[in-house]
Amino acid sequence: MDSIKCMSIEVHTRAGDLNQIISILSSRNFEVKFFYPPIAKDPSGSSYQIKIKDLFNVKAWRKFVYGLCSLAGVKDRSAVILFAKRKASL
């Protein structure tokens, strides 16, 4: 882990403790930031499909949906996106 300068992690909060991960990374000289994705899962458990034609369409669709969910304050708290960057050594 000493050779890692930065990382991005998706943490599933039902499977582990976010604070424990943050504590471990902080003790290894990482600056940690995280956010909950602005998406809500359908409580009925139904699935949906998005037909992917190219990367542009995926990015545009994601930006539109995330924007609407952010405006509505909707968040899925079962997963957290965590970013960690090693602090500069003096």
Q: Label residue 55 by pLDDT band (50, 70, 90).
A: low
pLDDT tops 80 at residue 30: yes
pLDDT tops 90 at residue 23: yes
Query: Which residue segment(s) compose the domain that 17 sits in?
Result: 6-86
Tell me which DSSP letter residue 3 carries: T
Taking Cα atoms as reference points, which of 24, 19, 61, 15 lies closest to residue 7? 24
Distance CA 49, CA 72 (A): 22
Instruction: Put residue 6 in one of left, alpha, beta given phi > 0 → left and psi -120 to 50 → alpha.
Output: beta
Q: What would the mean pLDDT of 48-52 be, rounded to a whole number?
A: 45
Taking Cα atoms as reference points, which of 65, 7, 11, 62 lies closest to residue 36? 11
Report the domain count for the chain. Answer: 1
Does a structural domain hold residue 51? yes
Does a structural domain hold residue 10? yes
Does a structural domain hold residue 1? no
